[in-house]
Amino acid sequence: MAGRTKTIAFANNKGGSGKTTTCANTGYSLSTLGKRVLLVDGDMQLNLSLSFFSEERVLEFAAGEKNLYNAIRGEKDLTDYVVHTSYENLDLIPSSTLMSGIEYELFTKWQREMILSRGLEKIKESGGYDYILIDSPPTLGGWVMNILCASDYVILPVEASPWGLFGVANLFEFLENVKRIAPSLELLGVVITKLDARKNYGKQTMEVLKDFEQVTVFDTVIRVDSEIEWAQDNSRPVMVHKRSARSAGEFLELAKEVDKNVRRSR
Ligand SMILES: Nc1ncnc2c1ncn2[C@@H]1O[C@H](COP(=O)(O)OP(=O)(O)OP(=O)(O)O)[C@@H](O)[C@H]1O
Ligand SMILES: [Mg+2]
């Protein structure tokens, strides 16, 4: 394998900004490009797990031993928590609804910002993956701090809507704080999601983002596509659900851009 495993967090404290959808579909697209990908569901909503497994399986993972909550609580090596999806080159560490209590669990632990990072160490050392993609909940606490401290890069999905950028300044401030603990963390870019081409908010969103210095905005924009919801309803990536869907092509382009930007920053 050329180069070591790169870890990318998808984060934004704004709910519904497209974190999970972008993480799942970029991950799948990277796997179709021949990259070996591990997805980590860091959210109690279990949405990333539901993107690839039926509700029944996801609830089984959540109620059983093999989920991220138990791993973090027990400060375990995450190797044993990996499950294979039905797609080649694509694995997942499932979440649990108990993740809602993770902040409390973290509170008493030694070097509590680094528990996820330590848990992923062996997986990274093994070189079995080109990319680890981590989906975050819409919060900015100790757990998201863990996710960011375990990552080389962060991608911010921002919804092209009037409130999409609200709070983004807080997020940048949070990232600066994280960088004091994890100085190598790099903002790979902002991806504009859920753009409705009939509206003008998209342009406005772009313009506001330009005012933030040193922020890369991905050229690929993810437009609103109702096929995404049908795909999620069937626990499938949109490309598997409907190869000709507009968003399927957009996510593939985004994956190429992500890979290109990572290579460039090495
Ligand atoms: N491009 C799109 N077109 C249409 N619907 C979309 C698109 N992207 C996401 N959605 C829908 O918008 C909703 C929010 O998306 P998603 O769950 O990916 O956001 P999120 O940031 O992960 O949310 P949360 O903060 O709750 O974790 C979902 O119902 C999803 O199906
Ligand atoms: Mg989500």
Among 20, 25, 136, 192, the mutation site with the greatest number of ligand 1 atoms within 8 A of its Cβ is 20
Summarised one tens digit per residue, pLDDT across range 117-170 is 999 999 999 999 999 999 999 999 999 999 999 999 999 999 988 777 877 888
First to last CA, the chain: 15
User: Where does the pLDDT of residue 23 fall: very low under 50, low under 70, confident under 90, or very high at 90 and above?
Assistant: very high
> 19 CB under 6 A from ligand 1?
yes
| All domains of the chain in start order, with CATH | 6-265 (3.40.50.300)
Please tell me if the CB atom of residue 51 comes closer than 6 angstroms to any atom of ligand 1.
no
Q: For residue 147, report the distance from its CA to the centre of ligand 2, in Å.
A: 14
CB distance 167 to ligand 1 below 6 Å: no
- pLDDT band at 190, cuts 50/70/90? very high
- pLDDT score for 2: 44
Dump pLDDT digits (tens) for 10-20. Answer: 999 999 999 99
Strand pairing report for 153-159 and 186-193 = parallel
CB 254 within 8 A of CB 265: no
Tell me if the pTM is above 0.85. Answer: yes
Report the pLDDT value the prediction gives residue 3, as an integer from 0 to 100. Answer: 57
Mean pLDDT of the chain: 93
Ligand nearest to the CA of 202: 1
Whole-number percent of the chain with pLDDT over 90: 83
Residue 222 Ramachandran class (φ > 0 left, ψ -120 to 50 alpha, else beta): beta
Strands (DSSP E) found in the chain:
6-10, 37-41, 83-84, 90-93, 131-135, 153-159, 186-193
Backbone angles phi, psi at 263, to 5 degrees: -60, -40
The pLDDT value recorded for residue 170 is 85
Q: How remote is the CA of residue 170 from the centroid of ligand 2, in Å? A: 19
pLDDT score at 1: 40
Q: Is 193 in the pocket of ligand 1 (CB under 6 A)?
A: yes
Is residue 112 over pLDDT 80?
Answer: yes
* pLDDT tens per residue, range 197-236: 787 777 777 777 777 777 899 999 999 999 999 999 999 9
* Residue 178, amino acid: V
